[in-house]
Structure 1
Amino acid sequence: MGWFTKADRSPAADPRHCVVSVLSASGLDVVGAGVLLTRDHLLTCAHVVNDALGRGVFDPRCPDDHNVPVALHRAALTVRSDARVAHWVPARRRNGTPEIPRAEDHEWLGDLAVLRLETEPSDNVLPPQWLTMSVGQALRAWHGTGLSHTFADVRVKSCDEAVGYIDGESTGMAIGPSYSGSPLWSIGDNAVVGIVAGLVTPPHDPITGRPLPYSSQHIARRSWGIPWQRIEAELRAAGGAELFEAPEPDPDDPAYELLLDLLDRHMPASGQRIEYARAVAEHCGYGVHDNLSAPTTEEFAALLLTEPRALAALSEVLRRREPTAVSQLLAAGRMSRVPRLLSPREHRRLMRYLDDLPKTVRARLPEVARAALPLAATVSGSHTVRDLLDHLESLPGDSRSDDGLRVPGLLRVMEYLAVIAPSALRASLRLWTVSVVDRMGVPATSLMERRTDAEEWARAQRERTGPARVSAQVERVGADRYRLRVWCDEGTGPRQTSGDGEAVRTGAEAARELLKVLEALHRSAPDRDRPVLEVLVDRDGLNLPIDEWGELDGGAYDGFGPDDLPQVLGAEFPLVVTCPELLHRHERFHPDWRHRWRLLDSDTTLTFDDPTQGRSEVYGALLADKDSVRVAVDVPPRSRDEIVQTCLMMGVPVVIWDRGRQARSHALARLSTVPVGALPEGVRAYRAMSLGDPRHYSGRPVLAWSDADRSVPRLHLAEPQENA
């Protein structure tokens, strides 16, 4: 492929930017370094990966089911990504014995890991050039953070085919912990010649393990690295030859002759081939020879059948000028296994949108794929988002269109994903699918069919999987005395179940009746989530401890003996409160309420934790931010109730607070990370934990939930003076 050249090896303007930080599983600490090997693969030591995952340093097992968080550094920003092991060469002893190396071993072989980035870097992220390590080279290494002041200057003192020993200068930084995996940058060659692997430390006291007093006979600032020549040999032996050389086209590929004919037909002039070939090379990260000659059609066709995204990139360039050529080229490409559906630009945009999705939505991608493509083979075993997308790109489409142009399977999945995404990302994903089908020439009507299918699926999912709901109107008529009216809603609307709404009950008696209804509803549909108890109260009942109603001693219910289990309402079933009095007090905020409810999946949270804030400050903050769907109120009781009631009057659908008296609520801190859709269950679980461990789970959370999609039962509200 003489006219096209691989542009993924470049001298770095700032070699420090070659350093990739390998992070701990939590993503908070740097455990070592790495360096880009290709545009989407990085190289590090296997023991660095083990350290990141909290495993033994020389654990030989391939961690192919684990994500390794990494950070790529650029001049103006740092980009985080997850990575997965693509090639694994565990450390082994030099003497050929099968034992795992020990800490006292000074040298070992292997100890290499190639990680594949889950998010493909942008076009301007280029790996460095690599050269052979040799004695006398002046090198530079960096700490895993990649910070500019952490560079350590060293020189190669000895080097064989397996190990290169490097000594540090007497001034400046010395190579130490978290330098493992760092590129060894040859200052004179402007290239990487290996990676840091280990240190040779001064002797330690055999009893205490502490360093012995310094002696001029001790080794100082000696480290060792893995030379490039061994890296390449080990990775080739491990099946990684594709990391070093561009693949050759299959001479028997059925698409080759067709593409030759189409390129000759649509690009007969050399000027046209130069223009289109340069554009494709730029999109795919290739360079071209700096001359005015055009690539031959054989060279161009070879690129289209070796670089997976080149054909899609060419169709992007041609779609406005030669639309008929696009459909013919893509049809020819479908006869080969090499071309991928998306161009590099389309793939990067899609990965960016998926990264921006809430984790709870992104985690549903396998479920969405099964729903969108029920007859397609699924990816077996554990897989990442990128693995699943790679699989989906290879699937054909399906459509009821008669013109033969079908919506690709990946685009159908993205339409299904869009209907459960937050509104802003839903629009972005849909615009993305429209642009891809436009490039491919797929009729827009076919895509609209799939969009309709997705909306019907989402509607059916909500109706089928949403938990049943029990609504209970609770009116206080004295000290621990209440009137109770109960409705059930299995998805078809509320129906009243309680007979006598005028009977007065204690809290325990009310809990007993509610638990009977909830348990019966749960037994009738065991495949659904536990029913949610929605308690309808007036503004004075927002802090009633209804979730604590029940019996803890187990012996008070229905005459059962002491072996019976306790029953506590809010610990057994999700319980939320709703205040129709406040919700409907100012109906001018109902449009805001419905708007916020539609954005529920965005989980946008507003927190009020300043006790000096009052109704005016809260009013202004909610008017300024009409997209917040969830408000947390973490202030003392004297100002808490005013803030809570203001939020409910202004149509905030989800409000959470602690009815206890502590200044900073443990419950709100713990529940702040729970996605809004899982909050009723998260609050229930917290209440259950507070029964078993009240010292550590000291909060008393209250969750107000105003569902704009459900009808509220017709209430019999008492006049205020009746409760006086």
Structure 2
Amino acid sequence: MGWFKAPDDGASGDARGSLVRVLSADRGRTAGAGVYLSGRKLLTCAHVINAALGTRMLSPRDPGAVTLDVSFPALTADSRQARLVAWVPPRAAHHPGPVADGSLEWGGDLAVLELDEAPPPPVRPVRWLDMRAGQLVRAWYGGGQPFSYADVQVGLCDGRIGYLDGPLSGAAVDEGYSGGPLWSPADGAAVGLVMGRITAPGGPLDAQHTLRRSWGLTWQSVRQELARVGADPHPGTGPGGPADDNSVRDMMMGPLHALLGDPTVRTAHCTALGAALGLRTQADGTAPSVEELAQLLCTAERALPTLAESLAATLTDSRSRAQLDRLLTLGRLTEASGLLSVAEHRTLVAKLHHLTGADPGLLPRAATAALPYVDLPRPLAAARLAPDDVAGAVRALEGWPGDCSPVPDETPRLPALLRVVEYVAAETGGIGCQALQDWSAQVAARLGVHASALGERRADAARWSDRSTGTGARVLVELSRHPKDPAEHYRCSVWRMRADGTAARTGVEAERPRTGREIARLVREVAGGSEAAGQGVAMVAVSVAPDALHLPVDEWDGAGPDEYVQAPLGEDFHLVLRCPQIRRRSRTGAGDLKRRWSARHRGEPLVADDRIRDENELVALLKTTHRDTARVLLVGPPAGRRQLVHFCLAMGVPIVLWDRAAGERGEAAPGDPRHGPDPHGPVDELPEKVRHFRVRAYMDPQVPARPALVWEDAGLPLPDELRLADPAAGTAHPSEGTDQAI
């Protein structure tokens, strides 16, 4: 019995969560059992594969890369596919050749399957130890039913096989148990695989006959058999390729002696380690041997980073830090180690689970930006991630290599997972951002990552989060009217944003009133001549007075007299509105806008429909339950919509969507494809959704809606700010910072 022991309760102290059910080819029955190894690898018996395929049980013929249905019956009834990737054929026990019919023992008989996708997150590798005589072990039927357990004792064990004797009461190891793990509750580890049973000869039984005796292949023998065919049961992930567990364990003993040579210190750290892993530990003041600790670090999931977490807090010199770094490097050669400690993993999954519930696109969006040159793992390849899939996504990212950027003093590189977390934090903003950054900093410090490496990626994430929605040009337009101007004529000033964030004003005469068509042509000229022209859809942000929020600016046609195709601004650009005059009438308007804009990727839009009777109810919601809401969809009574728009802007709401033509018809439900773009989903996609809708609406008379979108990007300057920065911009020569446009 070791210093570390499995917990008393069977639910958390056995291998049933890693038990695999192998189904027959017709999926009509259980062919046998198996056990989860690591990664996407499963281990079972070759004769279980034969049984599933309907061939002779102990046939040595390799069936090739066949695909079978398997499941994790203790966790879910859902099956998934696994492909045969390694085959150790059954062979006679004491001579070369096939197994004869009626044989009671044989050798080989192993198969490794590879899942098409990662297993469900609760599945984790079991700990493995060598089998020895006298161990009490437990096996389960492949179907995984809790009542199917069979308790047996290892009688004789020669290092290759172990004979298993069962009591006369309870279940016996029988057909359908083959390939499943033999679990030692006392050691908290699996020690072998169920192989076969010893049956009585034909005829009546007598007192000399063998009863309830079965046999299993020892873990020692499993390792050797798999090594013969190049199928390491625990493939390493380090640059040197797969490493033998015993070799890694032996290499770990050096740094462990240096860090925990004092038995008193070792006891304290190992007691905390056992508690974090859910293992029982000795309470008599003794310490585990360094060899047993090294074995635990190689086989128990998250054991090494959990120990490193407690050790890192006590290190006081660079020599000890170097020993810990060496230990963590060795841990990357084992599948069980993982990147995060038990506590770090629990904290991160809880935070991301909450954030993903509010914004399913957050984690895939951040991972795509943080790791732009790699193929993301399957959970993150989709546009949306369900909260239940967060743990699987974290598990997948833990094994990814670190940052390839240079690091100071040969310190460890920033892991991919931490880089993704930094991007999630930047996108989250507020208290949530701070909590994730604190978590990331603590993990980086524990790993020995230099603060500058983390700081560089944090700055990258901040720049990404501050990005504009459009990847193309950005054009700012200010519209105004004088009382004596002709009807439907407006004075305009136009700026284009340079790549460095500065603005250049066009050299046109701003005092002359222009028609909507003239203004649209001017905007097209400026957008087409910008540095980012051709790199994506340009954003045109039009600042208007409060009484001009319902102007059909998006419908103004900028096509030239010789062009065949009409060119409404709303078809070719992300045409959005701004109205800073209203926000400035609120004492807290600037702060409200900044706060809501930072939180724009969290949560769903507030739908202001006929249940919100007046502006007082809207203000109450925006002050309480929707204090950080950045999107409002107005579908309430037409008579009060203009007033509600004004109150949204006064409360600092940066994104407001409504249908300016709704007053002439009945109200429509939000998301109705005939009456407006869907406001839900990733917020950065909304301007493009509106543009797509406008293209269809302008061409189809059956689409009556005319969506208007306020988009107050808190990082985009306002016209008067640009005018204050360059008071001579309107008369400057082009070489002095303005553009010419016709």
TM-score w.r.t. length of structure 1? 0.61
Cα pair 1:4 1:289 within 8 Å, conserved: yes
Cα pair 2:3 2:287 within 8 Å, conserved: no
**Partners of 1:110 and 1:311 in 2: how far apart?**
26
Offset of 1:311 from its aligned partner? 3.2
Offset of 1:685 from its aligned partner? 1.9
Offset of 1:547 from its aligned partner? 1.6
**Partners of 2:259 and 2:478 in 1: how far apart?**
73
Offset of 1:484 from its aligned partner? 3.8
SS class of match (1:419): helix
Offset of 1:7 from its aligned partner? 4.4
**Partners of 2:649 and 2:71 in 1: how far apart?**
40
**Partners of 2:538 and 2:580 in 1: how far apart?**
21
Cα pair 2:676 2:706 within 8 Å, conserved: no
Mapped pair 1:249 → 2:238: no
Mapped pair 1:706 → 2:712: yes
**Partners of 2:579 and 2:466 in 1: how far apart?**
24
SS class of match (1:651): coil
SS class of match (1:671): coil
What is the aligned partner in structure 2 of residue 314 from structure 1? 307
Offset of 1:40 from its aligned partner? 8.8
**Partners of 1:311 and 1:631 in 2: how far apart?**
48
SS class of match (2:489): strand
Q: Within 5 A, what are the aligned runs for 1:411-560?
A: 413=419, 416-417=422-423, 418-439=425-446, 446-447=450-451, 450-451=454-455, 454-455=458-459, 458-459=462-463, 467-475=472-480, 481-490=488-497, 491-493=501-503, 495-499=505-509, 501-505=511-515, 507-521=516-530, 524-526=531-533, 528-550=535-557, 557-560=560-563
CA deviation map 1:24-83 (0-9, x unaligned): xxxxxxxxxx999589989999xxxxxxxxxxxxxx9989xxxx999998xxxx9xxx99
What is the aligned partner in structure 1 of residue 632 from structure 2? 631
What is the aligned partner in structure 1 of residue 366 from structure 2? 364
Offset of 1:634 from its aligned partner? 1.7
What is the aligned partner in structure 2 of residue 569 from structure 1? 569
Cα pair 2:84 2:113 within 8 Å, conserved: yes
Mapped pair 1:131 → 2:131: no
Paired AA for residue 524 in structure 2: L
CA deviation map 1:299-334 (0-9, x unaligned): 223333454643332233345556559625404315
Cα pair 1:407 1:447 within 8 Å, conserved: no
Bigger shift: residues 564-573 or 3-12: 3-12
**Partners of 1:122 and 1:437 in 2: how far apart?**
25
Cα pair 1:482 1:504 within 8 Å, conserved: yes
CA deviation map 1:550-594 (0-9, x unaligned): 28xxxx84134xxx2332220111011112332223344332222
Mapped pair 1:282 → 2:275: yes
Offset of 1:631 from its aligned partner? 1.4
Cα pair 1:395 1:410 within 8 Å, conserved: no
What is the aligned partner in structure 1 of residue 10 from structure 2? 11
Offset of 1:647 from its aligned partner? 0.6
Paired AA for residue 628 in structure 2: D
Cα pair 2:539 2:576 within 8 Å, conserved: yes
SS class of match (1:600): coil
**Partners of 2:404 and 2:338 in 1: how far apart?**
10
Distance 1:361 1:61, change over 3 A: farther
What is the aligned partner in structure 1 of residue 326 from structure 2? 332
Cα pair 2:17 2:123 within 8 Å, conserved: no
Cα pair 2:5 2:279 within 8 Å, conserved: yes
Offset of 1:532 from its aligned partner? 1.0
Cα pair 2:259 2:320 within 8 Å, conserved: no
Cα pair 2:631 2:653 within 8 Å, conserved: yes
**Partners of 1:644 and 1:675 in 2: how far apart?**
22
SS class of match (2:540): strand
SS class of match (1:259): helix
**Partners of 1:36 and 1:344 in 2: how far apart?**
23
Distance 1:604 1:134, change over 3 A: closer
What is the aligned partner in structure 1 of residue 582 from structure 2? 582
**Partners of 1:683 and 1:597 in 2: how far apart?**
19
**Partners of 2:9 and 2:606 in 1: how far apart?**
46
**Partners of 1:310 and 1:277 in 2: how far apart?**
10
Mapped pair 1:296 → 2:303: no
**Partners of 2:13 and 2:291 in 1: how far apart?**
38
Mapped pair 1:263 → 2:260: yes
Offset of 1:536 from its aligned partner? 2.3
Paired AA for residue 447 in structure 1: A
SS class of match (2:492): strand
Paired AA for residue 620 in structure 1: A
Offset of 1:119 from its aligned partner? 5.1
Offset of 1:692 from its aligned partner? 5.6
Distance 1:40 1:277, change over 3 A: farther
Distance 1:163 1:256, change over 3 A: closer
What is the aligned partner in structure 2 of residue 49 from structure 1? none
Q: Within 5 A, what are the aligned runs for 1:667-706?
A: 670-691=677-698, 695=702, 699-706=705-712
CA deviation map 1:381-416 (0-9, x unaligned): 8665543431236989823xxxx5836412872675
Cα pair 2:679 2:686 within 8 Å, conserved: no
**Partners of 1:272 and 1:83 in 2: how far apart?**
47
Paired AA for residue 296 in structure 1: S
Bigger shift: residues 628-637 or 272-281: 272-281
SS class of match (1:300): helix
Mapped pair 1:88 → 2:83: yes
Offset of 1:527 from its aligned partner? 5.8
What is the aligned partner in structure 1 of residue 407 from structure 2? 398
**Partners of 2:146 and 2:80 in 1: how far apart?**
33
Q: Which runs of 5+ in 2 are unaligned?
A: 20-32, 45-64, 86-110, 126-136, 149-170, 181-192, 194-215, 236-242, 381-392, 723-742
CA deviation map 1:172-205 (0-9, x unaligned): xxxxxxxxxxxxxxxxxxxxxx9xxxxxxxxxxx
**Partners of 1:453 and 1:285 in 2: how far apart?**
35
Offset of 1:492 from its aligned partner? 0.9
Distance 1:454 1:113, change over 3 A: closer
Offset of 1:618 from its aligned partner? 1.5
Paired AA for residue 489 in structure 1: R
Mapped pair 1:609 → 2:603: no
Over the aligned positions, Cα root-mean-square deviation in angstroms equals 6.0
Distance 1:35 1:350, change over 3 A: farther
Mapped pair 1:657 → 2:658: yes
**Partners of 1:281 and 1:702 in 2: how far apart?**
60
SS class of match (1:332): helix
Offset of 1:294 from its aligned partner? 3.7
Paired AA for residue 451 in structure 1: G
SS class of match (2:581): helix
Paired AA for residue 348 in structure 1: R
**Partners of 2:435 and 2:548 in 1: how far apart?**
43
Distance 1:458 1:118, change over 3 A: farther
Distance 1:526 1:343, change over 3 A: same
Q: Which runs of 5+ in 1 are unaligned?
A: 21-33, 46-59, 91-108, 124-128, 141-154, 165-193, 195-227, 371-377, 717-724
Cα pair 2:615 2:643 within 8 Å, conserved: yes
**Partners of 1:328 and 1:686 in 2: how far apart?**
59
Distance 1:329 1:712, change over 3 A: same
Offset of 1:615 from its aligned partner? 1.4
**Partners of 1:586 and 1:119 in 2: how far apart?**
49
